[in-house]
Structure 1
Amino acid sequence: MEKREINPWKWQDARNYVQAVEVKNPEATLYISGQTAIDSEGISSKADMRTQLKKALENLETVIKEAGYELKNIVRLNVYTISHEEFFREWDVLQDWTVQNGIKQSGTYLEVKYLFETLKVELEATVVR
């Protein structure tokens, strides 16, 4: 597999994402359903945004590793949140996670009216191998 990042500008570098990711000759692609702060018993979190974001990232990691993929090969990460204001106050959690795992992904951040039950954030990813 070959992966190439396309960044016509430099401003996005400080936000740790890329404008586009080109993948040539992938062996396989993993499309991951939205991961949230739901525990292993299926109970939705009632915690704050920061805690829910950490749990959603943990759940995303679990799915990726269970499938035999690597975090660094996330090529797209879409974030759905019920509050951009709350989410971007906790932005450092996602920023630090992507840096720590060597992830350079494209993505979209969307505020939605609501998510399932008491959830505040949902992460949808595409990973290649």
Structure 2
Amino acid sequence: MEKRVINPWKWQDKRSYAQAVEIKNPEGTLYVSGQTAISAEGISSNENMESQIIQTLKNLEQVITEAGYECNGIVRLNIYTTSTAELWPHFNILQDWINKHNITQATTLLEVKSLFETLKVELEATVVK
């Protein structure tokens, strides 16, 4: 796989994403459904935003690794939240996870009216190898 990051500016670097990511000659592409803070038993979290972000990242990582991919292969990460105001104080959790896995991805952040049941954040990823 060949990966090229396109950033005409520098300001997005502090926000942990790229303006565009080009992939040539991938071995495979994994499209991951939106992952949330749902337990292995299928119970939606009713905890705070911080706890939900942590559980959502664990679930995302589990799906990616069980599929035989690596988190550093994430090229697109869409973030859906019911409250950007509630998300911002904990955004460093996402940024630290992105940095830990050496990910450079295109990202879209959307505030939505609601998510499934009591969920506050959902992460949807495209991963290549």
Shorter chain as denominator, the TM-score bin is over 0.9
* Runs of 4+ displaced beyond 2 Å: none
The one-letter amino acid of 1:89's match is P
Counterpart Cα distance in 1 of 2:47 and 2:94: 17
Counterpart Cα distance in 2 of 1:15 and 1:118: 27
C-alpha deviation, 1:5, in angstroms: 0.5
Does the residue aligned with 1:31 lie in a helix, a strand or coil?
strand
Segments of structure 1 that go 5 or more residues without pairing to the other structure are none
Counterpart Cα distance in 1 of 2:115 and 2:21: 28
C-alpha deviation, 1:89, in angstroms: 1.3
RMSD: 0.5
TM-score, length-scaled by structure 1: 0.99
Deviations 1:16-74, CA, capped at 9 Å, x for gaps: 11000000001110000000000000000010001000000000000000000010010
Does the residue aligned with 2:45 lie in a helix, a strand or coil?
coil
Counterpart Cα distance in 2 of 1:19 and 1:72: 17
Paired residue for 1:8?
8
Paired residue for 2:120?
120
TM-score, length-scaled by structure 2: 0.99
Counterpart Cα distance in 2 of 1:40 and 1:55: 11
Paired residue for 1:65?
65
C-alpha deviation, 1:112, in angstroms: 0.3
Give runs of aligned pairs for residues 1-129 of structure 1, distance below 5 A: 1-129=1-129
The one-letter amino acid of 1:93's match is I
Percentage identity across paired residues of the two chains: 64
Counterpart Cα distance in 1 of 2:14 and 2:128: 24
Segments of structure 2 that go 5 or more residues without pairing to the other structure are none
